Chain A
Amino acid sequence: MAEEKESEENISALHKKITDAFQLFDYDSNNTVNVREIGTIMYSLGCFPSQADIREFTAKVGEDFSGVVHLDKFLPAMTKVLLENRFPPIPRSKLLQAFKVLDKDQKGYLKPEELTKYMMEKAEPFTQEEMDEMLTAHTHQKDNVIHYEKLIDKLTADQNM
């Protein structure tokens, strides 16, 4: 019985958390958000879906042709995702490994052109806007390269939201 109650509490806490995150993007205060924000909301709840995952999830919860997602569809679907830990976080060590793979000469840093090539041409490419933002924010002012260990520190900071 106590266990049931506890899991009930857990679920209601999860619900609250998901609703809070959802409502930060609900501009019209009518429990809907634009489909384009679904990815952001999922990420901010601690998930690491791929672009395909996001598309699939959005298709399930979105209303056809309207471009919006209602909270009453999003909430149960997202609760399931979190309970199942469907898109678990990628460990920091893997991230470091990833950078080391791209850093062919093992310099400890990447040049902006190199990073751009990988981010914009491979896998789930960045848009120009995403690329510009990354470069502006993380290219070292003086030597004009990206020190990826520092970048990793930033990316993995305060993960316990």
Chain B
Amino acid sequence: MGCGVSKSNQFHKHSRKAAVLIQRWYRQYVARTEMRRRYTWHIFQSIEYSGEQAQIKVRSYCFSMRSVCYAVFSHQTELENRVYLAGNLISHIFRENDVCWDTEWERYFCYKNIEVPEVYSGPHLTFPLTVEQAVGLLEAFRNKKQLHSRYVLELLLETWKLLRLLPNINRISTCQSKEVTICGDLHGQLEDLLLIFYKNGTPSLEKPYLFNGDFVDRGKDSIEILLILFSFMLVYPCDVYLNRGNHEDHIINLRYGFTKEVLTKYKIHGKRILKLLQKIFSWLPLASVIDQKVLVLHGGISDSTDLGVLAKANRHNVRNTHARILSKSTDSVSSDTTKDEWRQILDVLWSDPMNQDGCMPNEVRGGGCYWGPDITEDFLNRNNMQLIIRSHECKQEGYEFCHNRKVLTLFSASNYYDVGSNRGAYVKLGPDLVPYVIQYQASSMTRELTARQSVGRTERSALKVLREQLFAHKSDLLCAFKKFDSKNTGLVSLNDWASAVESVMHLNLPWRTLRCQLVACKTADGTIDYCDWFNELHIDQSLLETLYRHRSTLETIFRIVDTDNSGFISMEDFRQTWKLLSVYLKMEITDEDICNLAVTIDSNQDGSIDIDEFMEAFRLTDKKSRLERGRSMFMGTASDLTKLEDDPSV
């Protein structure tokens, strides 16, 4: 008996020790995974915001160039020469659209002579729209059908007519115990919208909805999302509300994919559709107020936000939310829209909350402000309100409260950066005005993985994107490394590597932590051969390297130049664009370089360049951008969704 007791005591002691070891190891593993998840998130966000910033810089550059070009140079330096030559191009790009009579527009958008062929298997729409047709449209899109351009134009025209009647600020009330469902950014991710409608029901008289902007760009089904939202709005005009987001702007769309999506899906009528959408976006309401107590808008507020001013502004004059504020010449500001109204609208669409008190310009985005809790407090008190609901920023849980729970950020595009990167959320608000948040994640894969497990995939994706960015900055990095390597040994210490990379990339990432994932070659004494490292990353080709880094900018400029959205630009415009770019980049691109490039690209020698073909050249090494690939890997088919339908826990 004594033996038995002591044996069990022994086991007890040993097993306790063993358990401690395992627990400690496991907790360590979990903590490390958490760290990786956080810096992966940081990587995606930094790159996204620095992309937005780059976009703004290009446009601001183009605009400042325009005012310079109007002047006559008495001393023409080489730089001024180039600018002057590029000036014709710039004037041409930014000439204001002269045609603005509504009747002329209606004629331009006329769909009546567009024939729908027999073979078309998508939905046929008749107006006025019924709820059965709206639901039918949902089904059709779920089954990957495309709506015929005739119906698209008709639907958009009806939408435009309705939007023109709406006020700048929607007034919504939760009377009769109606709960309003509020959704944040969707960014062309149809799966998320379908999931929301599946979980919460489609819009109806009993189920009003408010969509808080950024319906388009980045995801691949932006036009379908718009068509669904517009059709439900036409059926239930008093129960479906839309707020404009900063992506409801055709210049932004040039860079972030919506323009391309429409032109690809609608090869013949895409241009007209885009033009009509330009007008529709400008007619979208700017904000909504629920029960006079809850303000819902896309970006946020600033210390000068005045709902009275916003309510009276001519919102449709604001087609590009960035353009005006950056222009130095006053002739482009319409007399109807004052600079103050302008800035207020910009603030509403672009601002982000911060944790410190005060208000300062939002330099990361290039528009709007960062606003603090004191501004929120002041605003709510002045306007006798209790809550601000906004979107605009991706949050890992799909939502986040800040400013003492007086500001709620809501984001409805799950897996935004990559599969498993974040959840989406929507909010239900009843007469008690207490927000009730529902989260989801549109992927049949992530249900099987815990949040921690999906880190691995997302992390690999983020690191690939990061390597790409590093490669693109090779010359700057080389300079920075050489500064640390005064003896020209070709080696730098780990610490110096991190400092150099930090100073060039401006991405505010934990480089020392990331180093072991980004640098495989390391000498025995802990130094890095940076030339070896670059070889590890990619092959060097100087002109191409610069172009590769700036390919998004390049594509944007091309598409701006292509004013009629034909997809082609003339050789002359092409040359001018290069001149403009070389001035912007402060680098030498000789006429000879340009000619050589042009000759290779203009394959059919007809004097015009196909933009898509040109951009394709950059995709030789990288078929799709990593981010796009991440999303398209998920891209659920209808069967994935039906799998979800059977699951009661969804």
Contacts and interface: CB of A to CB of B under 8 A. Distances in A.
Interface of A: 9, 12-13, 16-17, 20-21, 23-25, 27-30, 39-44, 48-50, 90, 94-95, 97-99, 101-102, 104, 118-119, 122-126, 130, 133-134, 136-137, 154-156, 158, 160-161
A130 B34 CA distance: 13
* Interface size, B (range): 35 or more
7 contacts: A25-B38, A40-B35, A41-B31, A95-B21, A98-B21, A133-B452, A136-B450
B424 to A, nearest CB: 21
Contact of B512 (A13, A27, A30, A136): A13
A25 B453 CA distance: 20
Given A40-B34, A102-B19, A137 B453 contact: yes
A38 B513 CA distance: 18
B493 interface: yes
Contacts of A94: 21
A111 to B, nearest CB: 15
B495 interface: yes
A98 B30 contact: no
A50 B24 contact: yes
Secondary structure type dominating chain B contacts: helix
Given A43-B32, A95-B22, A137-B450, A118 B495 contact: no
Given A101-B17, A119-B22, A134-B26, 4 more contacts: A23-B510, A29-B355, A101-B18, A155-B25
Contacts of B355: 27-30
A49 B11 CA distance: 24
B566 interface: no
Nearest to B502: A16
Contacts of A123: 16-17, 19-20, 23
B112 interface: no
Most central of B17, B19, B34, B42 by chain A CB within 10 Å:
B19
A132 to B, nearest CB: 9
B143 interface: no
B420 to A, nearest CB: 14
A104 B10 CA distance: 13
A126 to B, nearest CB: 7
A155 B452 CA distance: 13
B15 interface: yes
A43 B510 CA distance: 16
Given A16-B512, A17-B512, A99-B22, A133 B30 contact: yes
A133 B451 CA distance: 9
Contacts of A41: 31
A161 B516 contact: yes
A24 B516 CA distance: 18
B495 A9 contact: yes
Contact of B493 (A9, A17, A161): A9
Interface string B429-457: 00000000000000000000010110000
A43 B28 contact: yes
B29 A97 contact: no
A73 B356 CA distance: 22
Contacts of B611: none
A21 B510 contact: yes
B19 A119 contact: yes
B54 interface: no
B513 to A, nearest CB: 6
